[in-house]
A = this chain, B = another copy of it.
Amino acid sequence: MPSPRARGPDPAAEPLHRHALRLLRLLRQEDAGLGVSAARLSALSVLVFGGPATLGALATAEQVSAPTMTRLAQTLEREGLVRREVDEVDARSVRLVATPAGTRLLHRGRDRRLDALSRALVSLSANERTAIIAALPALDQLVGQLQRRAAGARGDSPPRSGRRRLD
């Protein structure tokens, strides 16, 4: 019999984690042949979907060190996917902006992923699709919670105003 007061993790946590892992692992295959490495593609996606960002903010969002992001940005710039501007209020900061070519490339890749995901979605039963759609707002909330806890653990002060957070 199960031991009383086992107090393990929430039973929904494990399947949710496992399904999310496998889902992204499979969708990642769609990025092949895009001509940009995973590291650069991921950084570019933050710029395209999150708007311009400084090198430091991008490094934090991507969970890499500052020198690593410096180099990724240099390569992206050389490839014409990103443009850099010096921040007007703080001349130490470098703002990165996705170029039209960068934005197009990223949308191409994203569309491939979403097409693959869509084809799988339409093969589900109506009930299954409904269940997934019904869970989307809850997933959003869940990610928001995790985000706040992670930011809190890092000692960030909550953004009172100013620019929108990246990730």
Contacts A25-B63, A117-B10: A124 and B145 contacting too (C-beta < 8 A)? yes
The answer on a CB contact under 8 Å between B131 and A138 is: yes
Question: A49-61 vs B: 1/0 string, CB under 8 Å?
Answer: 0000000000000
Q: Within the complex, what minimum Cβ distance (angstroms) separates A32 from chain B?
A: 9
Q: Which of A15-23, A76-84, A95-103 contacts B (4 or more CB under 8 A)?
A: A15-23
Question: Is A29 in the interface zone, CB < 8 Å from B?
Answer: yes
- Contact residue among B117, B134, B146 (Cβ-Cβ distance under 8 Å from A146): B117
Question: Is A141 in the interface zone, CB < 8 Å from B?
Answer: yes
Alpha-carbon distance A143/B124, docked complex (angstroms):
11
The answer on a CB contact under 8 Å between B20 and A24 is: yes
Interface size on A, residues (CB 8 A): 55
Contacts A10-B122, A25-B167, A132-B138: A146 and B63 contacting too (C-beta < 8 A)? no
Chain B's closest residue to A153 (CB) is B29
Alpha-carbon distance A111/B24, docked complex (angstroms):
20
CB contacts (< 8 Å) of A20 on chain B: these are 20, 23-24
Question: Is A66 in the interface zone, CB < 8 Å from B?
Answer: no
Question: Is A40 in the interface zone, CB < 8 Å from B?
Answer: no
Contacts A17-B117, A20-B20, A24-B24: A12 and B136 contacting too (C-beta < 8 A)? yes
Other than the given A16-B139, A22-B167, 8 more pairs (CB < 8 A) read A9-B111, A19-B139, A21-B24, A23-B142, A26-B150, A119-B149, A131-B134, A134-B135
